[in-house]
């Protein structure tokens, strides 16, 4: 009989956690409780999170962890292509796991963020490359505009 869905999900999460921590080890980094907590928070995040949000969560169980430790961990994870940081408007950088890549639209009036599949702008990217030799990286910044409600 298969384990309950929640047990299966927890097993998958632990496997992914150890996989990411293994990448940090292979990169020459130590796996500290702080790093483990940062990666766990990223795995559990349902949305984009700021370094400050991660630090506040980690500090609940590890009060001595500084925001700079969180930033250094995020930088290492980004270098390993595990994490991607994005800019949504004028606020702090937001982070999410790179295996959840997507394009962001952000309403400049109500700040709603709409996520689109990563390949949504492929035709535009191909055209820019063909005509201008420009390689588009659309997931780093949100495309600003007005959502249907605010434009209507």
**Beta carbons within 10 angstroms of residue 149's beta carbon:** 10
**Beta carbons within 10 angstroms of residue 10's beta carbon:** 12
Question: What are the residue boundaries of the structural domains of the chain, listed by start?
Answer: 5-98, 101-151
CATH class of 5-98: mainly alpha
Q: What is the pLDDT of residues 4-42, one digit of tens each?
A: 557 787 889 899 999 999 999 999 988 999 999 999 999
Q: Above 60 in pLDDT, residue 90?
A: yes
- Look over the chain and give the mean of its residue pLDDT values, rounded to a whole number: 90
How would CATH label the architecture of 101-151? Answer: 2-Layer Sandwich (3.30)
């Amino acid at each position: 009989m298969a384990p309950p869905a929640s047990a299966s999900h927890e097993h998958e999460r632990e496997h992914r956690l150890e996989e990411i921590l293994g990448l940090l080890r292979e990169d020459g980094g130590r796996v500290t409780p702080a790093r483990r907590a940062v990666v766990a928070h990223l795995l559990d995040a349902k949305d984009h999170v700021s370094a400050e949000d991660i630090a506040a969560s980690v500090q609940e169980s590890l009060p001595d962890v500084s925001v700079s430790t969180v930033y250094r961990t995020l930088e290492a994870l980004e270098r390993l292509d595990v994490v991607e940081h994005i800019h949504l408007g004028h606020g702090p950088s937001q982070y999410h796991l790179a295996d959840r890549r997507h394009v962001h639209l952000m309403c400049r009036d109500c700040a709603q963020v709409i996520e689109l599949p990563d390949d949504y702008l492929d035709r535009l990217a191909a055209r820019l490359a063909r005509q201008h030799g420009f390689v588009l990286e659309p997931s780093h910044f949100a495309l600003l505009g007005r959502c249907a409600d605010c434009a209507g």
